[in-house]
Amino acid sequence: MQFAILGPVEVRRDGLPVAVGGPRVRALLALLALDAGRLVPNERLIDGLYGEEPPSGAANALQSQVSRLRRGLGAAELVEGRATGYRLAVDPEDVDVHRFGRLVKEGRSALGAGAHAAAAELLREALGLWRGPALADLTAPFVAGQAARLEELRITAVEDRAEAELALGEYTIVPLLQEIVAGHPLRERTRGLLMRALYGSGRQAEALAVYEDVRQVLAEELGADPSAELAEVHLAILRGDMAQPPAVRSALPAQLTTFVGREEELARVGKLLGEGRLVTLLGPGGTGKTRLAIEAGAREHGEVCFVDLSSVVNGAELPQALLGALGVREHGLQATVPEQHAEPAERLVAAVSDRRLLLILDNCEQVIEDAARLAHRLLTASSGLRVLVTSREVLGVTGESILPLQPLGLPAAGAELEDALGSPALRLFGDRAAAVRPGFAITAANLEAVSRICTALDGLPLAIELAAARLRSLPVEEIAARLDDRFRLLSRGNRTAAPRHQTLRAVVEWSWDLLEEDERELARRLTVFAGGFTLEAAARVCGPSLYEVDDLLAGLTDKSLLQSDGGRFRMLETVRAFCAERLTEAGEEDDLRRAHAVYFLDLAERAEPRLRGADQLDWMARLGAEGDNLHVALRWAVRAEPATAMQFIGALSWYWWLRGVRSELGPPAAELLRHYGTEPPEGLSEEYVLCVVHAGASGALGDATADYKRAAESVMDYAGMTTLPRRVSVLVLWAMSNPIPDRAEIEERRQHLMMRSDPWLHALDGFSSGYQWIFSGEFEAARPVFEESLARFRALGDRWGIANTLDGLAIVAELDGDLERSLELLDEAFTLVEQLGVLEDMVDLLRRRAEVFIRGGDLATARAEHERAAELAARSGSPQKVRTARLGLGDVARLTGDLATARELYEEVLEGSGADWGWTAENGARARLGLGWLAAAEGELGAARAHFLATIDSEYENVYAQTVAEAVAGMAAVALQKGDPVRAATLLGGTRKIRELAESAHDIIRVTAEVRERLGDDAFEAARDHGAAMTPQEVLTLARA
Is residue 582 pLDDT above 70, yes or no? yes
Which residues lie across from 80 on neighbouring strands?
87
Comparing CA positions, the residue from 508, 536, 502 lying closest to residue 524 is 508
Share of the chain above pLDDT 70, in %: 86
- Which range, 136-140, 271-275, 494-498, 599-603, is most confident? 599-603
> What is the chain's length?
1041
Is residue 7 pLDDT above 50, yes or no? yes
Comparing CA positions, the residue from 304, 286, 284, 287 lying closest to residue 296 is 304
What's the start-to-end Cα distance of the chain, in Å?
55
Task: Tell me the C-alpha distance between 177 and 195, whole Å.
Answer: 10
- How many helices (H) and strands (E) would you count in the chain? 50, 15
Cβ–Cβ under 8 Å, residues 404 and 559: no
Comparing CA positions, the residue from 801, 813, 885 lying closest to residue 843 is 885
- Strand (E) or helix (H) holding 279: strand 278-282
What CATH number matches the domain at 515-587, 3.30.420.40, 1.10.10.10, 3.40.190.10, 3.40.50.300? Answer: 1.10.10.10
Contacts of 467 (CB under 8 A, 6+ apart): 429, 453, 457, 479, 483, 489, 490
Cβ–Cβ under 8 Å, residues 840 and 881: yes
What CATH number matches the domain at 171-245, 1.25.40.10, 1.10.1760.20, 1.10.1050.10, 3.30.830.10? Answer: 1.25.40.10
Q: What is the mean pLDDT of the segment spanning 335-347? A: 58
Is residue 179 pLDDT above 80, yes or no? yes
pLDDT score recorded for residue 924: 83
pLDDT score recorded for residue 340: 44
Q: What is the pLDDT of residues 425-443, one digit of tens each?
A: 888 888 888 877 888 888 8
Which residues lie across from 251 on neighbouring strands?
305
Contacts of 761 (CB under 8 A, 6+ apart): 724, 731, 753, 754
How many CB atoms within 10 Å of residue 568? 16
Task: Tell me the C-alpha distance between 640 and 618, whole Å.
Answer: 31
- Which CATH number describes the domain made up of 250-329+343-404? 3.40.50.300
Q: What is the pLDDT of residues 734-770, one digit of tens each?
A: 666 654 455 565 566 556 655 666 788 888 888 888 8
Comparing CA positions, the residue from 170, 157, 163 lying closest to residue 124 is 157
- Which range, 34-38, 447-451, 562-566, 706-710, is most confident? 34-38
pLDDT score recorded for residue 444: 86
Helix 589-610 / helix 616-625 crossing angle, nearest 10 deg: 160
Task: Tell me the C-alpha distance between 664 and 697, whole Å.
Answer: 9
Contacts of 638 (CB under 8 A, 6+ apart): 645, 668, 671, 672, 675
How many CB atoms within 10 Å of residue 57? 10
Q: What is the pLDDT of residues 672-704, one digit of tens each?
A: 988 988 888 888 888 888 888 878 766 666 667
Band of pLDDT at residue 496, cut at 50, 70 and 90: very low
Is residue 237 pLDDT above 70, yes or no? yes
Is residue 869 pLDDT above 60, yes or no? yes
Task: Tell me the C-alpha distance between 671 and 636, whole Å.
Answer: 12
How open is the CA angle 554-294-469, to the nearest 5 degrees? 85
Comparing CA positions, the residue from 127, 124, 129, 120 lying closest to residue 93 is 129
- Which range has the worst mean pLDDT, 71-80, 812-821, 913-922? 913-922
Band of pLDDT at residue 332, cut at 50, 70 and 90: very low
Q: Is the pTM of this model over 0.85?
A: no
Is residue 805 pLDDT above 60, yes or no? yes
Q: What is the mean pLDDT of the segment spanning 292-306? A: 81
- Torsion, CA 329, CA 330, CA 334, CA 337, rounded to 10: 180
CA dihedral sign of residues 256, 259, 265, 267: positive
Task: Tell me the C-alpha distance between 189 and 159, whole Å.
Answer: 8
How many CB atoms within 10 Å of residue 713? 12
Is residue 208 pLDDT above 60, yes or no? yes
Q: What is the pLDDT of residues 362-372, one digit of tens each?
A: 888 878 888 89
Comparing CA positions, the residue from 1039, 841, 848 lying closest to residue 932 is 1039
Is residue 91 pLDDT above 80, yes or no? yes
The DSSP 8-state label assigned to residue 95 in this structure reads: B
What CATH number matches the domain at 736-835, 2.60.40.10, 3.30.470.20, 3.40.50.620, 1.25.40.10? Answer: 1.25.40.10
Burial class (CB in 10 A: 0-12, 13-18, 19+), 314: exposed
Q: What is the pLDDT of residues 251-285, one digit of tens each?
A: 677 666 677 777 788 888 888 888 888 999 888 77
pLDDT score recorded for residue 916: 55
Task: Tell me the C-alpha distance between 533 and 520, whole Å.
Answer: 17
> Strand 303-308 and strand 250-251: pairing?
parallel
Is residue 606 pLDDT above 90, yes or no? yes
pLDDT score recorded for residue 717: 60
- Three-state SS for 187-220 is CHHHHHHHHHHHHHCCCHHHHHHHHHHHHHHHHH
* DSSP-assigned states of every residue in 521-546: HHHHHGGG-SS-EEHHHHHHHH-S-H
Band of pLDDT at residue 502, cut at 50, 70 and 90: very low
User: pLDDT: is 1012 or 262 the higher one?
Assistant: 1012
CA dihedral sign of residues 50, 51, 57, 62: positive
Band of pLDDT at residue 150, cut at 50, 70 and 90: very high
Indicate the class that CATH gives domain 838-912: mainly alpha
Q: What is the pLDDT of residues 870-898, one digit of tens each?
A: 888 887 777 778 888 999 999 999 999 89
Is residue 126 pLDDT above 60, yes or no? yes
Q: What 3-state DSSP class applies to 769?
A: helix
Q: What is the mean pLDDT of the segment spanning 930-938? A: 92
Average model confidence (pLDDT) across the chain: 82
Q: What is the pLDDT of residues 645-672, one digit of tens each?
A: 999 999 998 898 888 766 677 788 888 9
Task: Tell me the C-alpha distance between 661 and 664, whole Å.
Answer: 6
Classified by CATH at the fold level, domain 1-169 comes out as Arc Repressor Mutant, subunit A (1.10.10)
